[in-house]
Amino acid sequence: MNHDAWLAALTGELRRHGVGPDLTGHVVAEAATHLAESGEPPLAVFGPPQAYARAVADSLGGPDQRPPRRRPGPVRLGARGITKRYRGRTVLDRVDLTVRAGEIAAVVGANGAGKSTFLRICAGLVSPDAGTVQVDGALGYCPQDGGTAEFLDPDEHFVLVGAGRGLSRGAARRAGRTGAAALDWTPPAGTQARHLSGGTRQKLNLVLARLGEPDVLLLDEPYQGFDRGTYLDFWHEVWRWRDAGKAIVVVTHLLNQLDRVDLVLDLTAPGERAA
Amino acid sequence: MTKILVVAESALRELLRRRSVLVILLLLPLAFYLSRRGDHLGQSIRFVCLGLGWALSTAALFAGSAARGIEPRLRLSGYRSAHLVLGRLLALWTVGALLSAPYFVLVLVDQHDVRYGAIALIMALTVVVAAPFGLLLSAVLPRELEGTLVLLTVVGLQMVMDPADQATRALPFWFSREIGTYAIDHTDGGYLTRGLTQGITFAVVLTLLVAVAAAVRLRRRRHLRFA
């Protein structure tokens, strides 16, 4: 592993360990200076980038998991009285949710609680039996599965979805590749979606939802199949989007992330919750 | 227009990458042609046109079913349902034209004393009708197996029913038998007119029905309001 590759890997690992961008830049610059002056191989000096990044993060007392304080903006998504019944069973009963610009809302609940249905209603893909959804801005939606074309490669997906958003071919490809890089992924040219692994296909799904910088992002368990590193990258990206003023709704069943979001909508039925 | 062309380009790429399907599509009309070439040359022309219609309808059926997963996302990304329908039809019509060309050359080389212009017209109408027919089946019957069985039934009926029977006019490819009679048996222009009228009517109606089905399925739901 040469200097540049090692430093790039270290940058990614520091970010995954929750080290802020300023400190990351400082640590990487120091390491680069040391390597340039000593001329020694980085693995011999610092060891693997993962281990070195972990050591740096530990020395700082672990990653900072507190969401930065900020002032929420105007309401971007307002769901009122959403009710949905399937075959006589009420899945969603007068559910309300308000998400402002610069906020992350987590939708949680047991299997079958209606999390995905609620998100599909917010996206306008399914009609509720009662209730309304008001959206201020453009919508981006990442489904739990599907949402890609089997025989198209990632660049062709970027062009196809980008054209709908009014992006030129070049701009769509650039935006897609930038979004992919943030998830530590370089889309392979010519590899069709059907040949991508489940986790990589979800990365494509997520990048497509973000194309064109929509104001409201609806993400339905988008991290399925992600490895640990990508999972951390994903949350860092979500916080970055929030800080850029996006309103984000994430369906999740991983409760350990709830302290990092601004709102929690629990769709678990009251009886089940008490049990 | 850009959106329609991008959808058409993507759909065309998807179709052309299903290589084994393409080979079967290309060979299916040939099998139809050869099946009747020994006993009646003119009949083989009618059969090859039906084979083309069947092959392209099937391709459209599968293309329509495969697109169901990504179309809601495309709709949310700024496409109208008309962009998606027209783009996909454009791709299928292009594939149909490419598929028909070698069979027209085959007829030119292998058949004599027939009206070649009328045969080209049958092939063109077959392509124009088959694409929306397959897409409509995919819209109405979301599972491919059901759609394939309906296609099988329609083409089977088209082959075995007497073209003079009034009921056969309700079948989408009836025009190919009628114009075929004009082209092969050198009958009067009435056959051409009747066939042309039925073919154009089916093409227009099927295309409109596909557009309506897509508009309904991908409509913006009333509960969602944009500020």
Across A74-99, average pLDDT:
92
Q: Are A127 and A201 part of one and the same domain?
A: yes
Give me the residues of B, 63-122, that contact A with CB < 8 A: 66-67, 69-70, 72-74, 76-79
Across A61-90, average pLDDT:
78
Residue B225 placed within a domain: no
Residue from the list A134, A149, A161 with its beta carbon closest to the beta carbon of B225: A134
Tell me whether B221 touches chain A (CB under 8 Å).
yes
Number of domains in chain B: 1
How many whole angstroms separate alpha carbon A153 and alpha carbon A157? 6
Decide: A118 and B208 in contact? Cβ < 8 Å: no
Per-residue pLDDT reduced to its tens digit, B76-94: 999 999 999 999 999 999 9
Residue A180 placed within a domain: yes
Count of A-B CB contacts under 8 Å: 91
Residue B174 placed within a domain: yes
Per-residue pLDDT reduced to its tens digit, B139-188: 988 788 888 898 888 888 887 877 777 788 888 988 988 898 898 888 88
- Domain containing A38 equals 3-59
Across B100-120, average pLDDT:
90
Show Cβ contacts of residue B123 under 8 Å, excluding neighbours closer than 6 positions: B49, B52, B100, B103, B104
Flag whether pLDDT at A66 surpasses 60. Answer: no
Residue A64 placed within a domain: no
Q: Do B70 and A212 touch (CB under 8 A)?
A: no
Flag whether pLDDT at A1 surpasses 80. Answer: no
Across A80-92, average pLDDT:
90
For residue B95, the one-letter residue type is V
How many whole angstroms separate alpha carbon B163 and alpha carbon B156? 13
Number of domains in chain A: 2
Across B112-123, average pLDDT:
91
Nearest to A60 by CA among A29, A13, A19: A19
Q: Which two tokens stand for residue B3?
A: 């959106």
Per-residue pLDDT reduced to its tens digit, B178-227: 898 898 888 888 889 999 999 999 999 999 999 999 999 998 899 999 88
- Domain containing B87 equals 2-217
pLDDT computed for residue B123 by the predictor: 95
Distance between the two ends of chain A, CA-based, in angstroms? 54
Q: Report the range of poorest mean pLDDT among A182-186, B38-42, B196-200.
A: B38-42
Q: Are A119 and A11 part of one and the same domain?
A: no
pLDDT computed for residue A275 by the predictor: 45
Which of A10-14, A42-46, B89-93 has the largest mean confidence? B89-93
Percent of chain A with pLDDT over 70: 88
HSE-up of residue B172 (Cα within 13 Å, Cβ side)? 31
Q: Are A223 and A260 part of one and the same domain?
A: yes
For residue B35, the one-letter residue type is S
Q: Are A232 and A129 part of one and the same domain?
A: yes
More confident residue, B4 or A269: B4
Residue B69 placed within a domain: yes
